Amino acid sequence: MVGPRVKALRESMDLSLRDLAERSGVSAPMLSQVERGETSPTLQVAERIAQGLELRLSQLLRLDEGGAVSVVRASERRRGPTRGGHRYEILTPPLPGQRAELSLHTLAPGAVTGGPGDPPMHEPGSRETAVVESGSVSLQIDGASHELRAGDCVTFDADLPHHFENPGPDEAVLLAVVSAGLRRS
């Protein structure tokens, strides 16, 4: 059923029916009928809706995916380069249209995130939530420092310049979830 997916994607982009109608060239009443499941769009209309949502038709219809459940085995994690005592792994699968990414970061004593080879700064409107699994870290963001210990969790605007530091004598491990491009209200 494509209707609920169209509605969820439209709302996640903070678009009204009228906004999507302008972007796609599909009338607002037709979009409303599609979203409510009262009609199924033709392939041509679905293609225009996908373009209005900045997706390929295969992404909108989820043809790129192998099913509703994706498992990433520990041995299949995407690993970033190890640099200066910081190593990270992306735990979520690289699915089209995915709006969040979970990563595991390990920091040696004195190591920091955010250097060459690390993932780029997050897109405007991104939010990040990180939980310290073990050790302690210091979040440096927007001129402020926030000390975090095992079990502590922090959420912040990820489009601000930031990095984590491990000031302690032991290795630190943290899990981070980045929600991409969510609009702030």
Return residue ranges of the chain for CATH 2.60.120.10. 74-179
Please report, in tens digits, the pLDDT of each residue of the chain (185 residues total): 788 889 888 887 888 999 999 999 999 999 999 999 999 999 999 999 999 988 888 778 776 555 567 788 888 888 888 888 999 898 988 765 677 889 999 999 999 998 555 555 677 788 999 999 999 999 999 889 999 999 999 999 888 889 999 999 999 999 999 987 644 43
pTM: 0.63
- Choose among 182, 181, 180, 177: nearest CA to 92: 177
Strand pairing class (162-165; 136-141): antiparallel
Domain 74-179: CATH architecture, name and number where available: Sandwich (2.60)
How distant is the alpha carbon of residue 24 from its chain centre?
24
- Choose among 37, 16, 38, 18: nearest CA to 28: 18
Phi, psi of 144 (to 5 degrees): -120, 155
Three-class DSSP category at 25: coil
Domain 2-60 class in CATH:
mainly alpha
CA-based angle 110:116:122, to the nearest 5? 100
- SS3 string, 135-171, reads CEEEEEECCEEEEEECCCEEEEECCCCEEEECCCCCC
Return residue ranges of the chain for CATH 1.10.260.40. 2-60
